[in-house]
Amino acid sequence: MRQLTARFRCDYPGVRFDIECALPLEGTTALCGVSGSGKTTLLRWIAGLPPAASGFLSFAGDVWQDDARKIFVPIERRRVGVVFQEPLLFPHLNVEDNLAYGMKRTPPSHRRIAFEQVIEMLGLAPFLQRRTQRLSGGEQRRVSIGRALLTSPQLLLMDEPLAFLDQERKREIFPFIGWLNRELGIPVVYVSHDLNEVLQLARHVVLMKRGSIAAAGPVQDIFARPDLPELAESNVVGAVLDTRIAEHEPQFGLTRVEFFGRSLFIPQQDLPVGASLRIQIPACDVSVTTDLQPASGSALNVLEATVVEIGQTPGNGHAVDVTLDAGRPLLARITRKSCQRLNLNVGQKVHAHFKAVALHS
């Protein structure tokens, strides 16, 4: 698989960077972590922007930086698109000239994305002749994404492109990022501190902590790990499953989805049968029974599972996190008291009852 390999080691006042990672160059990879963890810095190093750092960086085999061999490919020759945290449109150019700035500097043989395609996707047609100062924040953001895309980048780097946008604007841009991956095959590396956003958008997650990588892997694996305090203390920890819509049951307001031959029910979705849908099973919505009689409770979703691990919930002395294996990893957050009463042990067969929610992307 094509990969981006990064190794950086350097000291800055207050933070020591020690980064070693290999990001898959497919789909969206989220760099997340609290502010100050170094996610934006890593993104800038991938782009080739200051602050200078010594290290090694290669993109699908092309070396972009290797201090041992004194190699440093400048940003303009890395063919990356960068969407910065602020739109940073050029104030002396109108919208159309902003959009075309990078395209004009991209050799025709490298252009894979048509101007009209981007205009249409981002809904920019009405603004082309306008001065950038007369656009709203969301419109400016869309122009800045379009401007980066029109260079037909081989990698798109986005630094919190959805920050400061309201929910409605985010919903406008979300599908667009997915479309980039699917239709254009452009891998996206995306910085975010919003774990809900990451859950919806990302296929891979790199979790950063004080200048190093705390965890990295597919989003399903990372979000089901109870041992990462950044996740565990939020309400987003829990299994993530990629499922297909199997059927709708409008009389109950439910939709049945399937994964690995198992069925789950979720509130009815507005998607065709056969469509893929990512769902989450939040750990706090999972309960565990040792009574293995099927259909003995009101919960619709019951899966047979094996206890893999029982661990203290970080930051909550009265709860434990139980990792279950139900074909896919499942995480249950239950009270310490229940755990004792059920006398749970590693290796034990249990039933997991839960609610699942759809994650729209």
Partner 1 sequence: MTTLLAMDWGPLWLTMQLAGVTVVVLLALGTPLAWWLAFTKSRMRTPVEAVVALPLVLPPTVLGFYLLTAMGPHGPVGGPWKAFTGSALSFTFTGLVIASTLYSLPFVVQPLQGAFEAVGTKPMEVARSLRASRLDAFFTVASPMALRGYVSAIVLGFAHTLGEFGVVLMVGGNIPGVTKVLSIAIYDHVESLEYTQAHVLSAALLVLSFLILTIVYAINRRLPVRAA
By the criterion CB under 8 A, which residues form the site for partner 1? 47, 49-50, 74-76, 79-82, 84, 86, 88, 90-92, 101-102, 105-106, 147-148, 151
By the 8 A CB rule, do 329 and 323 touch?
yes
Quote the CA–CA distance of 6 and 264 in Å, as a whole number.
39
Report the nearest approach of partner 1 to the CB of residue 136 (Å).
19
Closest to partner 1 by CB, 158 vs 213, is 158
Closest to partner 1 by CB, 157 vs 330, is 157
Closest to partner 1 by CB, 69 vs 105, is 105
Report the nearest approach of partner 1 to the CB of residue 123 (Å).
21
**Token pair in block for residue 145:** 């994404």
Q: Find the helix or strand (DSSP H, E) in which 138 lies.
A: helix 137-149
Closest to partner 1 by CB, 80 vs 124, is 80
Report the nearest approach of partner 1 to the CB of residue 175 (Å).
24
Report the nearest approach of partner 1 to the CB of residue 65 (Å).
15
Q: Give me the residue label for tokens 């309400």.
A: 235
Inter-CA distances, 182 with 41, 96, 178, 185, 187, Å: 27, 26, 6, 6, 9
Quote the CA–CA distance of 121 and 178 in Å, as a whole number.
12
Quote the CA–CA distance of 238 and 330 in Å, as a whole number.
7
Provide CB contacts within 8 A for 166, sequence distance 6+: 138
Report the nearest approach of partner 1 to the CB of residue 348 (Å).
54
Closest to partner 1 by CB, 29 vs 151, is 151
Q: Is the peptide bond before 107 cis (omega within 30 degrees of 0)?
A: no
Report the nearest approach of partner 1 to the CB of residue 54 (Å).
17
Closest to partner 1 by CB, 81 vs 161, is 81
Q: What angle do CA 295, 224, 309 make, to 5 degrees?
A: 75
